[in-house]
Amino acid sequence: MNIENSAQRILSANSPSPELLESTLELMRETSWAELEQAPLCQKKKHVGLRRLSFSVSAVAVVMVLLIGTNALFPAFAESLPFIGGVFEAFKRGAVSDNMRDAQNSLNNYAVPAGENTVQVPAGGLGQSPVNISVDQVYYDGVFVYAGLIMEVDGCSDTVYSNNWGKYYNVLLNGDPQVQWDEETGDHASAEGFAETTASGWWQKVEDGKYISQRGFRVPEKYQNLDCLDVTLCSQGIEDGAAGPTRMINNTPFQLSFAVEKNEAVVQNISGPLEINGVTFLSAEASPAGSIFSFEVSGRYNNPLRVIRFDDGRGLGDAGAGKTAELAGGGERQTWFMGGLQPDEDRKVVLGLLDKNDTGEYISVFVLDFQKGTVEAGTPEDIKEPPYARYVCGAENVESLTDGLLVSDFEYGEAKNCLWLLTGSDYQELTVELWQDGQWVGSAVTQNDKLHWSHEPHYMEYVHQNDGSWTVEWVTDIPLNQYMLSFDRLQGLDTERPALIKVIDRDIGEVLLEQDIEWNQPRHNDPGIIHPEVEDDITKESSYDAVSSQAG
């Protein structure tokens, strides 16, 4: 194995997230201002997730530079896809939960064409490009508004963003601005009840010169459930951050206006308050396109971790934005945006606050029943693990394989899955299908690139011991080749029941392999797994302070 390449692959797939960069910059600015004003700042560490406000231009600039590795993480992002249908149908969110996919499909199902509204934005300066922007599809369920945007511009990379930070950025509802720009602090403030539910102004490339994007908002009560709503999106411009310093594609501020009629999508509500151990549930709203959860956390807790899941452990999907507001008496109000809920969704939603920094126990658990519109106190047992299952074929089968095909490993999680297929032959165009009880569950195809086809197979399994523990066993120097495949979606896979893998030659349609799958591996964080002992890293104090004083 090439250690350097392996390390680089890990880093490419694990860049700092845009939210992390944004929240870090925001904390830095807060700290800096507080020091300038000589005012004490609360030093409580704020977790990245609690600071997901809309993008600043500075964060966008950083993200543009750092997201060069995005292609490795979400290959679909970089693909030039044929743009057929509407924006909501084609827009990719990356590795997301089933529920988030349902929400995106719902958006597409309820959306209507926006009509002709193209805005031609002339180049703002030397080296800039003119752009044509239009609203393609719109959605308004009475609470949430979404707009699917199309942009045509030449000469840009795959990494294009809207500049949504500055005095020209705004959203007008029936002509009323929802965002206020503060020149002194260089910050935005939103109107009460207004929130942007999309995390970034990222544009997905769909063809050369053509990009699509999606914006979403929760509108204040005054603009809810109207027959028709006039919306104007105001932008600071468009930027390209493919490599090196951010390039301004077009810095001319522009506006996109559209009117949207309320659709028939059902919005469900749950109202509080319900207080448990210093955490007060306030409200929740869910439409098929998006959901919003609000609660207040007492200041006596040190940044508890919020968990919002269905009661079967599956995720709703993060919509990518969230808000916090400091409370006068200490503590903060948190608002989270998640994937939507379908009207017939009968699973309950469990909201828990985990005191991860102190006791390691759940402070409060709320069980939300959207069908009944109720919220009740729950217990930590109501918070289930996300679905997970893994099959391995057994080391002896790997070692005895000389020719043919063998599914050596299949790991299934909610947002991603990986299947490893060993072969004694050269690369072939194959389709792998997963079946359960005679029903097709999903398909994946082989790809001939470094990520998906390897001449250095690997195999690792946990071996169950008589005392109930699991030990780790590796097979190395396997004289075969290996495919790695991912299923785009596994429809209705039941991890409690066995499955069948079929491997099919794509050219002639012949089934080359049928292999039964029994889920026989523990969850990777199973306490029964015996890992090799890790050395205690704390052997002496660091010279950090000395270093910083030297550097300073």
Identity of the residue, 144 or 459, whose beta carbon is nearer to another protein in the bound complex: 459
Q: Rounded CA gap, 299 and 487, in Å? A: 44
Q: Rounded CA gap, 552 and 546, in Å? A: 10
Phi, psi of 482 (to 5 degrees): -145, 130
Which position has the token pair 């999106």?
Answer: 233
Q: What is the 8-class DSSP label of residue 84?
A: -
Closest approach, Cβ 7 to another protein, in A, equals 4
Identity of the residue, 220 or 394, whose beta carbon is nearer to another protein in the bound complex: 394
Q: Which residues contact 423 (CB under 8 A, 6 or more apart)?
A: 404, 405, 406, 480, 481, 482, 483
Identity of the residue, 72 or 123, whose beta carbon is nearer to another protein in the bound complex: 72
Q: Rounded CA gap, 6 and 171, in Å? A: 44
Identity of the residue, 39 or 551, whose beta carbon is nearer to another protein in the bound complex: 551
Closest approach, Cβ 536 to another protein, in A, equals 8
Closest approach, Cβ 25 to another protein, in A, equals 6
Distance, C-alpha 412 to centroid of its chain: 18
Closest approach, Cβ 10 to another protein, in A, equals 5
Q: What is the 8-class DSSP label of residue 315?
A: B
- CA distances to 146, 171, 319 from 290, in Å: 10, 19, 8
Q: Rounded CA gap, 493 and 389, in Å? A: 10
3-state helix, strand, coil in the chain (%, to 5): 15, 40, 45
CA neighbor of 319 nearest in space, from 223, 217, 221: 217
Closest approach, Cβ 170 to another protein, in A, equals 23
Burial of 218 (0-12, 13-18, 19+ CB in 10 A): buried
Closest approach, Cβ 402 to another protein, in A, equals 21
Identity of the residue, 228 or 547, whose beta carbon is nearer to another protein in the bound complex: 547
162 three-class SS: strand
Q: Is there a contact between 130 and 250 (Cβ–Cβ < 8 Å)?
A: yes
Identity of the residue, 247 or 348, whose beta carbon is nearer to another protein in the bound complex: 247
Closest approach, Cβ 456 to another protein, in A, equals 7
Identity of the residue, 132 or 486, whose beta carbon is nearer to another protein in the bound complex: 486
Identity of the residue, 420 or 519, whose beta carbon is nearer to another protein in the bound complex: 420
Closest approach, Cβ 281 to another protein, in A, equals 24
